[in-house]
Amino acid sequence: MSNDEIKVKEPPVLFDKTQAIIQELSTIFNAPIIAYWNSYRGGVCHNDVIVLYDILEKIGKQEKIYLFINSGGGNGSSSSRIINLLRQYAKNITALVPLECASAATMLAIGADEIQMGPLAFLTAVDTSLTHDLSPLDRDNNRVSVSLDELNRIVKLWEEHATKNDVNTNPYQHLFQHVHPLVIGAVDRAESLSIMLCEEILTTHMSDKEKIQKIANTLNSKYPSHAYPILYDEAKKIGLNVTRMSKDVNTLLLDLHRTYSEMGQKATVDYDEKNSHSNEILNIHESEGKQIFYQNDKDWFYRAEERRWITLNDNSSWRKIEKNEKGKLIKSILHLE
What is the Rg, in whole angstroms, of the alpha carbon atoms belonging to the chain? 22
Is there a domain that residue 206 lies in?
no
Instruction: Tell me the β-bridge partners of 332.
Output: 320
Is there a domain that residue 140 lies in?
yes
Residues 73 and 94 in one domain: yes
Is there a domain that residue 204 lies in?
no
Residues 144 and 164 in one domain: yes
Name the E strands within the chain. 33-38, 62-70, 90-97, 100-101, 114-117, 122-124, 129-130, 146-147, 229-230, 242-244, 267-270, 275-287, 290-303, 308-312, 317-323, 329-334
CA distance linking residue 124 with residue 111, whole number of Å: 15
Is residue 147 within 8 A of residue 226, CB to CB? The reply is yes
Residues 57 and 168 in one domain: no
Total domains in the chain come to 2
CA distance linking residue 40 with residue 70, whole number of Å: 10
Residues listed for the chain? 337
Residues 114 and 152 in one domain: no
Residues 33 and 93 in one domain: yes
Is there a domain that residue 230 lies in?
yes
Q: Quickly list DSSP for 272-296.
A: SSSEEEEEEEEEEEEETTEEEEEEE
Q: What is the CATH number of the domain that holds 234?
A: 3.90.226
Residues 24 and 115 in one domain: yes
Instruction: Tell me the β-bridge partners of 285.
Output: 36, 292
pLDDT in tens, the chain (337 residues): 455 567 778 889 999 999 999 999 999 999 999 999 999 889 999 999 999 999 999 999 999 999 999 999 988 889 999 999 999 999 999 999 999 999 999 999 999 999 999 999 999 998 666 676 777 877 666 777 777 667 777 777 777 776 655 556 777 777 888 888 888 777 766 667 788 999 999 999 999 999 999 999 999 888 877 788 999 999 999 999 999 999 999 999 999 999 999 999 988 888 888 999 889 999 999 999 999 999 999 998 998 888 888 889 999 999 999 988 777 889 999 988 6
Range of the domain at 177: 130-188
Domain edge (last residue) among 168, 188, 208: 188
Is there a domain that residue 5 lies in?
no
